[in-house]
Structure 1
Amino acid sequence: MNCKPLVIGDLTAKIPVVQGGMGVGISLHRLAGAVAAEGGVGIISTAQIGFKDPEFDRNPLKANLKAIGEQILKARNIAPKGIIGVNIMVATKNYEEYVKAAVKAGVDLIISGAGLPVTLPEFVEKSRTKIAPIVSSLKSASVICKLWDRKYHKAPDMVVIEGPRAGGHLGFTVEQLEHIDEMDFDGEIRSIIALVSEYGEKYNKHIPVVVAGGIYDRSDMDHYLELGADGVQVATRFVTTYECDADMDYKMSYINAKKEDIKIVKSPVGMPGRAIMNPFMEKTKLERVPAAKCRQCLAHCNPAEIPYCITDALINAAKGDVENALLFCGENAYKAEKLEHVSDIMKEFSCEK
């Protein structure tokens, strides 16, 4: 399948690959910069992005907002001519401030999910920053496009369709995730592409659609390009790269994982997620693990009731304490057998074959 560059307004990625935003601390400036330098779209996760800052425990919001600008600048230094974006979860506490910090830092693209980013357009007004909602169904795509059209007279600059084989939090029910093969998700993708095309015609522009979830190799990308997508979002494959910002032990947890180790787990957020089963997740099935301190990560979280603190669990993962961590991963994480360079992965997905 021949591919072509991914065009997002006045931005052009010569390879139609968006690197998925993975937090806490898995995709920061090193990974995003490396992907952007190779001609893809590099994405920094803003989830508790300032966790290494000495101020983080005392003032997590201040540390995070400061780190957004710092990480974007560092990624730019790696890829001065590349496309640098951020992933900002709608569920983030102080969401508006995170978006404004990214825009102020001159980020090229904001990808936003974990809820519908209904207010996102008002925070990027008069900036050059492009915006892309993450959707998991035709219904959610229709809601966000209609709302932005009516309230802001704007259409998305790009749409990311995240399927049921993705890692991290998922926009599906547990029952749906237990019967993925029975879902006609390819049909859903075609329907969303058709809907987005209608809004593109209305606004006299092409709105690229990127498919995420379970894309590991070139054949996966070719499948979605054949369905009419403009590109793919790849996350899990980039974890086991030398350039990934995560600790080596986190990377090795993917390389050592078997297919049967990858499970649907319960997140404190109230959504199902996909992760590698480990002693910590087994422990949370039996008992509550109290949060040591609230770091103000999610808008709807009650520290007194959650089964465990997702910030603590994800920071442990990023730092390599994999026995006491939530090890988010995509369905195909078990396919990782060795460390790779970002450049080699991008050559595999290149249009110059």
Structure 2
Amino acid sequence: MYRQSYSKRDGGIGSCPECGGRIVSECEVVCRDCGVVLDASPTDRRPRPTRPQARDGGRATGAPLTPVHANRRLSSYIGRRRDARGSPVSPRARRQLERQRTQQRRAARGANKQTLQPGLAEIARVCAALEATTTVRESASVLFRQALAENLLYGRAYESIAGATVYLGARRARFVRTLTEVASVSRCPNNSVRRDVRFLQRELAITAGPISPVAYLPRLQSTLGVDDRLLRQSRQLLGVVTERNLHSGRDPKGVAAGAVYTVARLEGGKTMLSQREVATAADVTAETVRTRFDEFEPLCPDVNDRDGTRTPSSTGAHGSGDTQTADGD
């Protein structure tokens, strides 16, 4: 291996000790003319891109920025008694590092950042308790930063705002979690989280469309322990409900619960479910399930025509009398 000096810059110009040709440094330091290898394992000093192209036209390096951290993962750690190599620093250098830590601490603890740090930590805790995805946590963190920038946290608990942003982030990401579930793991009562959800929607002009009733079916199946056949028929019934526009203006949880209860009621047998069981699993009232049953029961012949099977009639209808199901004949 040659020990002569040469330029190690990318594409740098140097002279080859063999032929005097131009030296280039890519994966290896080689001569472009004769091909002699001068250094087989050089240090790659080129920037490593983390995304295809930066906004300013240059290459981006380092870890990607993320809104889930208060400093967006840009902070640096200043040691106390040892440097980066592990060697002890002199007393003069220690005093200088202490002054630098003080300035960094002051810069990181502004008026808004004192609330930002615990707020993002609360969002992380709630998302972990709900087993939410990274997308939900990032969306909630962005909403919390927007609320903080608009000075919307004055007079309100940051725990309640954090719970509201998690719920809105879940709605944006189509992650099925009810407001009661979010409030149950939050440090604020349900009414406070619900109030702040409406407050953020109004002040930040957040438009989060309702979740489809079909998205609640897997959760109801898991909670109630029903089989796949009942779930498939419930999905077909919801398709007819959507075509008739009977889901408009109604809680999607109640629509899904009504579909599951209707199919289970008409099937009978081991799949028989009570209104209270379905209402508890869907976080709605039993009256909502009963009302949806009255609306969805006449649609069962259309479901039977699609499925190619007939739904057996059930006895013991809700209320006082028996309910005869339509067989589509």
| Shorter-chain TM band | under 0.3
Q: Which structure carries more strand by proportion? A: 1
Q: TM-score, normalised by structure 2?
A: 0.23
Greater percentage in helix: 2
Task: State the structure with bigger RCO (CA 8 A, min sep 6), 1 or 2.
Answer: 1
Larger Rg: 2
